[in-house]
Structure 1
Amino acid sequence: MSFDLYFWPAGATKRPQQLADRLAEENTRGLVPDARVLAFRAELLRRWPELDGRIEPEHEEARYVVLTLAFGWPAISALPVLARAHQLDCYDPQVGRLAVAPAAVGLEGASTLEGRVLAHHLVRALRQISAYIGYRYDDLDEEALTGALDDTDDEAGPWFDYPLAGTPALTIFLARSQGGSAVSIRVEGLMNLVLSARIDTVLDVY
């Protein structure tokens, strides 16, 4: 299954759904050629060559971009960031609103990402993050977590910190969330745009 995302110059419309409906019919009324759109299209293909054939219009029309993606595409969170960097809006017709770039993520990535994961999904989340940076997360890592969060508190502290010695090296900060079955997680390190988006997706999924 797939879905579409629409990109056009920031502030081009106050009625994004209506504009997306028109663009779906190739009606570009109200949009003018814009070099930022062309630069964004080129940057998409530079970063993710596999998107070739998923970008419309197929010719280099510099008014808008429609991107067709498979559900679960790993760098989805990076797209609003890249659009913002090119001064474009990103409209998601599935939810009927403009997509907002995560505040912590810039064009070159993030140094800190925060979120929550369900306690019983924590190991899976850490294994996935480790895989992204080439770190072999094994039984010794799991043993290090045993009992480590018992006295933590995501509001009053303390937090438990644990290094993942991959490329890049990351430090994971963990603390129990009061009144729930979730664990608050903070990831710190020099993460580029793609890695930031992948980790941000992990924090959303788990």
Structure 2
Amino acid sequence: MSYDLYFWRSGAAEDPRRLADRLADEKADGLVPDERVLAFRAELLRRWPDLDDMIAPWHHDLGWRQPWGEGGLVDRFVALALPYGWEAMSALPVLAGSYGLDLYDPQSEQLVPPASLPQDRAVRDDVARVEGWVTEDHVVRLFRQISAYVGYAYDDLDEAALVGALDDTSDEVVDGWFEYPLAGTPTLVVRLALSPGSAVVNVRVEGTMDLVLATRIETALDLL
């Protein structure tokens, strides 16, 4: 027997019970896409990989596993079907609140919005590096996305600096990476290198990032 929980953008539900009933049938037409939902989902799976058998809706991050749900709903809500007594249950409201999401427990019919949580219970684990890859034609889009996250005014001069920057890079050589700083809040350094013989660009984003920022960057890398 499972213990069900639902997460969605805070304030999105006038009637949480009715919305949860609809989400159980994969009817999410009342919810708008929100990247914070994706970021929260990614963080859940990073912290507790065993949730890949208990999370919905389905998305490519689950690989061959398909508990239930449609991939097109992945940025609208997260549903968990947990075993009773799951070890990290108490951490979920705080983690959800840090992403601006409500938690709804249909068993007790209790809605937990971020504003109801103590302000000193923030979830913070500083992350020094995020890694992933994109194709060459998505490099500029990635820079624009990360710049928006940290408040850096990315412009045409930055774009010009990237022209030809990857030509002599290689992820097989220690000093074969191109580095570019983004002086936002926080300051990040983006390191790029081509994978020889392909259009794949390996990416390392380095700096002092909180979990929310790190997960947003991870999500951007996954989706590009």
Q: TM-score range by the shorter chain?
A: 0.5 to 0.7
Q: By how many angstroms is 1:81 displaced?
A: 2.6
Find 1:111's aligned residue among 128, 132, 135.
128
AA in 2 matched with 1:118: T
Aligned residues of 1:81 and 1:107 also touching (Cα < 8 A): no
Q: Which residue of 2 aligns with 1:135?
A: 152
Aligned residues of 1:82 and 1:107 also touching (Cα < 8 A): no
Identity of aligned residues (%): 40
| Structure-2 change in CA distance of 1:142 and 1:52 (3 Å) | same
TM-score, normalising length: structure 2 = 0.55
Question: In the aligned structure 1, how far is the partner of 2:12 from the partner of 2:138?
Answer: 31
Instruction: Figure out how many residues of one structure are paired with residues of the other and give that number.
Output: 156
RMSD over aligned CA atoms reads: 3.8
| Structure-2 change in CA distance of 1:114 and 1:167 (3 Å) | same
Q: Which residue of 2 aligns with 1:124?
A: 141
Find 2:162's aligned residue among 145, 159, 182.
145
Structure 2, unaligned stretches of length 5 or more?
A: 21-25, 60-65, 69-77, 79-122
Q: By how many angstroms is 1:53 displaced?
A: 5.1
SS of the residue corresponding to residue 77 of structure 1 reads helix
Determine whether 1:78 maps to 2:96. no
Question: In the aligned structure 2, how far is the partner of 1:170 from the partner of 1:201?
Answer: 17
Please list the CA deviations of residues 69-120 of structure 1 after superposition, one character each: whole Å capped at 9, or x if unmatched.
9575212132353477699934124351499xxxxxx953532111111111
Q: By how many angstroms is 1:199 displaced?
A: 1.2
TM-score, normalising length: structure 1 = 0.59
| Correspondences of 1:1-206 after superposition (within 5 Å) | 30-31=1-2, 49-50=10-11, 72-75=33-36, 76-82=38-44, 89=51, 90-94=54-58, 96-97=66-67, 108=125, 110-157=127-174, 158-206=176-224
